């Protein structure tokens, strides 16, 4: 296929079935490999849409500068989009941002500005955002997408990701598992699918220690997942179930999916697949569960896939599929303090996609 520029090549990522991590009696689990987008992650979808909409509205004019605070993937995406469309890009990163991400941002010709001062909780997210806001005020003809509050973020997933799922699975989608961050995925996909398939379960996955969708603030090793606050883009009305995934389960899933399925996933992708495997057990055979995998493992080879790093961080990995499934038995749909009450899983005869909508 031919494209006028790299931005037009975004989307159309493959949906790949898991074959060796599921068991008889489980629903089929599909993994949407967003790492195969140009830019290497799911974040390029909202990056393109937010910039295109800013161009249309006049918020971003020729020769302007895109300014944003990001722990990695959106920064890479905006840097790629900016390079392709002729904009300067300034990304606020922090000491936890993977070196791969910083180097890639710079590789696209963008400025990666390090924010070293953490807040009183030892977190960097709010200081990064404040630094980006100051820079956007100081730089003439600048535009800050503000991924957490920008409605063009979830709209990108409603108009592309959700449409691709429906097309690829012929409209038979029983559950979709999305990780949180700016909450664009879960809100956008959830809104679009609920309009067509009201019985489709939308499952949100956060990291333990994140407060994006409720839960106590704490520390976690997962990057690119979670938030120190609830983003404005989070719509609790489209979420049926929520889970808080631990580091050990996410990283173990990454390694097992790589060794058993040949897919190298990032940490947040591991969390999504782990919870999707749990949902597949609860739903049972004859259903389809989709895990949105935000990025790949190539940028985490020195962390998640490093035995030395795992030992240094004191993470106890689950060595095999049986161990992972045993750990998943402790995971139940958990309501957050700010979320609506959970409905029960629909009965098998009522949950087949297409029958209710």
> How far from each other are the two terminal CA atoms of the chain, in whole angstroms?
35
- 253-259: long-range contacts (C-beta < 8 A, 24 or more apart)? 253/277, 253/324, 254/297, 254/300, 254/304, 254/305, 255/304, 255/305, 255/317, 256/21, 256/318, 256/320, 256/321, 256/324, 257/18, 257/21, 257/31, 258/297, 258/305
Give the DSSP letter of residue 298: G
User: Residue 119: phi, psi to the nearest 5?
Assistant: -85, -170
What is the arithmetic mean of pLDDT over 95-116? 93
Do residues 222 and 178 touch, judged by C-beta distance below 8 A?
Answer: no
- With cut-offs at 50, 70 and 90, classify the pLDDT of residue 149: very high
pTM, rounded to two decimals: 0.90
- With cut-offs at 50, 70 and 90, classify the pLDDT of residue 207: confident
Taken in order 291, 294, 295, 297, is the CA torsion positive or negative? negative
Q: 201-207 and 241-245: which strand pairing?
A: parallel
pLDDT at 355: 23
Single out the residue of 82, 70, 27 nearest to residue 295, CA to CA.
Answer: 70
- With cut-offs at 50, 70 and 90, classify the pLDDT of residue 165: very high
Report pLDDT digits (tens) over 270-293.
Answer: 999 999 999 999 999 999 999 999
CATH code for 6-37+151-335? 3.40.50.1100
d(CA 33, CA 12): 10
pLDDT at 348: 29
d(CA 113, CA 52): 24
pLDDT at 332: 82
Domain ranges, ordered by start, for the chain? 6-37+151-335, 44-143
Please list the active-site residues. Answer: 43, 268
pLDDT at 218: 67
- With cut-offs at 50, 70 and 90, classify the pLDDT of residue 121: confident
Least reliable range by pLDDT among 11-15, 53-57, 99-103, 154-158: 99-103
d(CA 46, CA 42): 8
Do residues 229 and 211 touch, judged by C-beta distance below 8 A?
Answer: yes
Is it true that 6-37+151-335 and 44-143 share their CATH fold?
yes
pLDDT at 211: 65
pLDDT at 124: 82
Q: What share of the chain is helix, strand, coil (3-state, %, to 5)?
A: 40, 15, 45
Report pLDDT digits (tens) over 246-275.
Answer: 999 999 999 999 999 999 999 999 999 999
Domain 44-143 falls under CATH 3.30.1700.10: no
Instruction: Between 212 and 178, name the one with better pLDDT.
Output: 178
Provide the 3-class DSSP secondary structure of residue 228: coil
Instruction: Between 117 and 220, name the one with better pLDDT.
Output: 117
Region label for 107, one of left (φ > 0), alpha (ψ between -120 and 50) or beta (otherwise): alpha
User: Residue 99: phi, psi to the nearest 5?
Assistant: -55, -35
pLDDT at 336: 41
Report pLDDT digits (tens) over 216-248.
Answer: 666 777 776 767 778 899 998 999 999 989 999
Give the DSSP letter of residue 40: S
- With cut-offs at 50, 70 and 90, classify the pLDDT of residue 337: very low
pLDDT at 123: 78
What is the arithmetic mean of pLDDT over 17-24? 97
């Amino acid at each position: 296929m031919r494209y006028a520029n790299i931005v037009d090549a975004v989307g159309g990522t493959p949906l790949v079935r898991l074959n060796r991590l599921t068991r008889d009696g489980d629903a089929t689990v599909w993994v949407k490999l967003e790492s195969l987008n140009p830019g290497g992650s799911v974040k390029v979808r909202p990056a393109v849409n937010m910039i295109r909409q800013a161009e249309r509205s006049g918020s971003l004019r020729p020769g302007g500068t895109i300014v944003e605070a990001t722990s990695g993937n959106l920064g890479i995406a905006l840097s790629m989009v900016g390079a392709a469309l002729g904009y300067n890009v300034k990304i606020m990163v922090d000491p936890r941002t993977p070196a791969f991400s910083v180097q890639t941002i710079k590789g696209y010709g963008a400025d990666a500005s390090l924010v070293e001062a953490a807040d009183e909780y030892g977190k960097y997210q709010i200081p990064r955002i404040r630094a980006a806001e100051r820079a956007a005020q100081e730089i003439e003809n600048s535009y800050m997408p503000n991924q957490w509050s920008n409605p063009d973020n979830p709209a990108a997933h409603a108009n592309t990701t959700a449409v691709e799922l429906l097309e690829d699975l012929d409209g038979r989608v029983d559950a979709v598992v999305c990780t949180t961050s700016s909450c664009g995925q879960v809100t956008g996909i959830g809104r679009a699918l609920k309009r067509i398939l009201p019985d489709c379960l939308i499952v949100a996955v956060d990291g333990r220690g994140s407060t994006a969708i409720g839960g106590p603030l704490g520390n976690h090793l997962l990057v690119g997942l979670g938030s120190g606050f609830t983003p404005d883009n989070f719509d609790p009305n489209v979420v049926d179930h929520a889970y808080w995934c631990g580091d050990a389960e996410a990283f173990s899933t990454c390694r097992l999916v790589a060794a058993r399925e040949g897919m190298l996933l990032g940490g947040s992708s591991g969390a999504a697949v782990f919870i999707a495997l749990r949902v597949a057990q609860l739903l049972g055979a004859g259903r389809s569960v989709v895990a949105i995998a935000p990025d790949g493992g190539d940028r985490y080879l020195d962390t998640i896939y490093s035995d030395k790093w795992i030992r240094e961080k004191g993470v106890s990995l689950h060595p095999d599929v049986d161990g992972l499934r045993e750990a998943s038995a402790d995971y139940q749909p958990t309501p957050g303090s700010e979320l609506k009450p959970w409905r029960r899983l629909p009965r098998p005869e009522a949950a087949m996609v297409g029958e209710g909508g």
